[in-house]
Amino acid sequence: MKTILGTPPRGRRRATTAGGHRVITPVTASVAIATSMTIALAVLAGLLTGVLMPRGPVTTAQASIVLVTSFALGAAAGLIMRSRWPMLLTPVAYALAFELARWGAVGPTVDAPRLDSSYGILALLLGRGFHALIALLPMVIGAGFGLTLARYLSGAPARWLPTVFLLLLPAALALWLALPARTPAILGADGKPLSGSVAELTTVRLGGHDQTILIRGHSVDAPVLLYLSGGPGQSDLAYSRVLFADLAKDFVVVGWDQRGTGKSYASLDPAGLTPAQAVSDTIELTDYLRNRFGEDKIYLLGESWGSTLGVLAVQQRPDLYHAYVGSGQMVSQSLTDRRIWRDLLAYAQEAGNWKLYDQLITYGEPPYRDVPYANAFAMTHYDALTKPYAPPQAYVERGSSAGLGPYGIFASEYNLVDKVNVLRGLIDMFAVMYPQLQEIDFRADVPQLEVPVYLLDGQAELAGRRDLALEWYERLDAPIKRLYSFENAAHSVAFEQFEALHDIMTGTVLADTYLEP
């Protein structure tokens, strides 16, 4: 081939490094190969992530791996193509391959995006948005780093200052991921950890899945109280630490992120998540606590959905429990929802709120088909049906001073991934479990319990819940049953009336069921 003196063959260009070394870089014939290699790597990474992590990274380890590999993939693509195109091609190819590989995953945070409500937007941000932050952002920055490095190696001008500045973003994200979750120690009068106390976050294996519990107590020799949080899908670890701090003086208080919830979100298995499995997990956790703390029986406190779970567990294994305490007691999910729907419809007519009226008619009478979006819409209007009341000042002050943030996500018990999982667990776990609760009605299913029952009643509770709870309580046959009614409480009575709960547990429940005569 003839060439003009000093001109390299067509299809290649020559660069000279600072040391005088000539480097050949692809320009035309190699562009197709470089592009194909880049897309192939991105597709492979997306497919592997979709198969191994169909919900995206759901643990700190997974998030760290995705962040590092995504940055490395972007850097390799930038080096291979030596242009800005990988900053677009790589994340797009990765995202498309990921969506294809996880086709069939179930839940609002992985379903097709819905932008017709704030709930749908939140689900999009928690699912695809968080994954994009962990994977796509480092990938784009990595591609820019690869391009800068390629220019430097070829002797071309390299803009290192903006590149290094951008590198601080994934570095900061990696550091945030590395910050561990913890729960504060219980301190004595001297400001040091109290001797004989317990304050720990730990993982237990329940039903073949790792699930997280929070254990706090001034003495490991105290009776054990297991708290079952609401939802389904809500994580109350932080709230149980703050609002049950007084109870922890007399009990070993155990909070639990049930499978698919909060710190246990990674255990979400839609096919295996049923009320029966939740009861089985509760009983297995009960046995773990009995064995660990040397107790024949423990106490069970259920809030909202936790009250459904608690009653079912006590009914199945009454020999494991000293007593059952219900707060925000649920009796029939389907009838409650129908009553609330009708009450909201009547309110909308009376108030002339035809937008609310039309939307309720569009969703139709429960049980809702559009779960959880219809439920979320109805719940945002519950305040219209709640009787005016003033929660106790102690509750307001303790909750605000703790600085827990919405759903407790600012608490030290949650690391970065946990904070996201608290919210997406509430969405995804609810979507799986809620439809399975429609046939439960304690008035027919649970006419009798073989353990003492203590019910906390909030007089400002929605009538659709409260009326059924009082009706069930009146019918219920139990060795001991006591009803505590509070004017200044609504649904979350155990939290709102935490001081009264402490007095009830130590002054009545222990005397009835635990202390020697």
DSSP 297-309: -EEEEEETHHHHH
At residue 392, the 3 state secondary structure works out as coil
Model confidence band, residue 155 (pLDDT cutoffs 50, 70, 90): confident
What are the phi and psi torsion angles at 430 (to 5°)?
Answer: -60, -45
User: In sequence order, which residues have a C-beta less than 8 Å from that of residue 193 and are 6 or more positions away?
Assistant: 185, 186, 187, 199
DSSP 174-221: HHHHHSPP--PPPB-TTSSBPTT-EEEEEEEEETTEEEEEEEEES-TT
Model confidence band, residue 14 (pLDDT cutoffs 50, 70, 90): very low
252-257 and 209-217 strand pairing: antiparallel
Sign of CA dihedral 497, 498, 500, 504: positive
At residue 282, the 3 state secondary structure works out as helix
What are the phi and psi torsion angles at 46 (to 5°)?
Answer: -65, -40
Rg of the chain over CA atoms, in angstroms?
Answer: 28
Could you give the number of structural domains in the chain? 2
Q: Are residues 403 and 282 in the same domain?
A: yes
Please tell me the distance from the alpha carbon of residue 442 to that of residue 432, in angstroms, as a whole number. Answer: 21
What pLDDT sits at residue 31? 84
- How many other β-carbons are positioned within 10 Å of the β-carbon of residue 33? 12
Specify whether the CB–CB gap between 411 and 237 falls below 8 A: yes
Model confidence band, residue 517 (pLDDT cutoffs 50, 70, 90): very low
User: In sequence order, which residues have a C-beta less than 8 Å from that of residue 482 and are 6 or more positions away?
Assistant: 452, 453, 454, 455, 508
Does residue 3 surpass a pLDDT of 90? Answer: no
Q: Is residue 246 part of a domain?
A: yes
Q: Are residues 87 and 28 in the same domain?
A: yes
Q: What is the mean pLDDT of residues 108-126?
A: 93
What pLDDT sits at residue 234? 95
Q: Is residue 502 part of a domain?
A: yes
Residue that finishes a domain, picked among 122, 146, 178: 178
**Cα distances (angstroms) measured from residue 392 to each of 167, 279, 454:** 49, 33, 21
Q: What percent of the chain has pLDDT over 70?
A: 94
Q: Are residues 53 and 165 in the same domain?
A: yes
Q: Are residues 139 and 232 in the same domain?
A: no
Q: Is residue 1 part of a domain?
A: no
Say if residue 232 is preceded by a cis peptide, omega within 30 of 0: yes
Q: Are residues 168 and 225 in the same domain?
A: no
Q: What is the pLDDT of residues 307-346, one digit of tens each?
A: 999 999 999 999 999 999 999 999 999 999 999 999 999 9
What pLDDT sits at residue 450? 98
Does residue 283 surpass a pLDDT of 50? Answer: yes
Q: Are residues 154 and 226 in the same domain?
A: no
Q: Is residue 380 part of a domain?
A: no
Q: What is the mean pLDDT of residues 364-391?
A: 92
Q: Is residue 406 part of a domain?
A: yes
**Cα distances (angstroms) measured from residue 364 to each of 118, 370, 464:** 20, 9, 17
Q: Is residue 341 part of a domain?
A: no
At residue 483, the 3 state secondary structure works out as strand
CATH code (residue 506):
3.40.50.1820
Residue with tokens 């677009």: 88
DSSP E strand boundaries for 218-264: 224-228, 252-257
Q: What is the mean pLDDT of residues 256-284?
A: 95
Cα-to-chain-centroid distance, residue 339: 29
Q: What is the pLDDT of residues 21-31, one digit of tens each?
A: 444 354 334 88
Q: Are residues 152 and 233 in the same domain?
A: no
Q: Are residues 83 and 231 in the same domain?
A: no
Q: Are residues 324 and 213 in the same domain?
A: yes
Please tell me the distance from the alpha carbon of residue 140 to that of residue 72, in angstroms, as a whole number. Answer: 10
User: In sequence order, which residues have a C-beta less than 8 Å from that of residue 516 and are 6 or more positions away?
Assistant: none
Q: What is the pLDDT of residues 216-231, one digit of tens each?
A: 999 999 999 999 999 9
Q: What is the mean pLDDT of residues 494-503?
A: 96
Beta bridge partners of 297: none
User: In sequence order, which residues have a C-beta less than 8 Å from that of residue 312 and are 6 or more positions away?
Assistant: 275, 279, 446
Residue that finishes a domain, picked among 149, 178, 207: 178
Q: Are residues 214 and 153 in the same domain?
A: no
Q: Are residues 232 and 122 in the same domain?
A: no
Q: What is the pLDDT of residues 45-55, one digit of tens each?
A: 999 999 999 99
Residue 416 carries which side chain, given as an amino acid letter?
Answer: L
**What separation, in Å, do the N-terminal and C-terminal C-alpha atoms of the chain show?**
107
Structure tokens at 42: 């991105």
Q: Is residue 349 part of a domain?
A: no
Model confidence band, residue 100 (pLDDT cutoffs 50, 70, 90): very high
Specify whether the CB–CB gap between 394 and 412 falls below 8 A: no
What pLDDT sits at residue 1? 39
Q: Is residue 210 part of a domain?
A: yes
Model confidence band, residue 154 (pLDDT cutoffs 50, 70, 90): confident
Please tell me the distance from the alpha carbon of residue 436 to that of residue 228, in angstroms, as a whole number. Answer: 18
What pLDDT sits at residue 516? 53
Specify whether the CB–CB gap between 118 and 51 falls below 8 A: no
Sign of CA dihedral 386, 387, 388, 392: negative
Model confidence band, residue 20 (pLDDT cutoffs 50, 70, 90): very low
Residue that finishes a domain, picked among 178, 211, 238: 178
Does residue 401 surpass a pLDDT of 80? Answer: yes
- 237: containing domain: 198-331+399-513
Please tell me the distance from the alpha carbon of residue 386 to that of residue 401, in angstroms, as a whole number. Answer: 25
**Cα distances (angstroms) measured from residue 126 to each of 14, 118, 260, 409, 433:** 48, 12, 15, 13, 19
User: In sequence order, which residues have a C-beta less than 8 Å from that of residue 95 and are 6 or more positions away?
Assistant: 46, 132, 136
Residue 333 carries which side chain, given as an amino acid letter?
Answer: Q
Model confidence band, residue 157 (pLDDT cutoffs 50, 70, 90): confident
Q: What is the mean pLDDT of residues 405-422?
A: 95
Q: Are residues 215 and 283 in the same domain?
A: yes
Mean pLDDT of the chain: 92
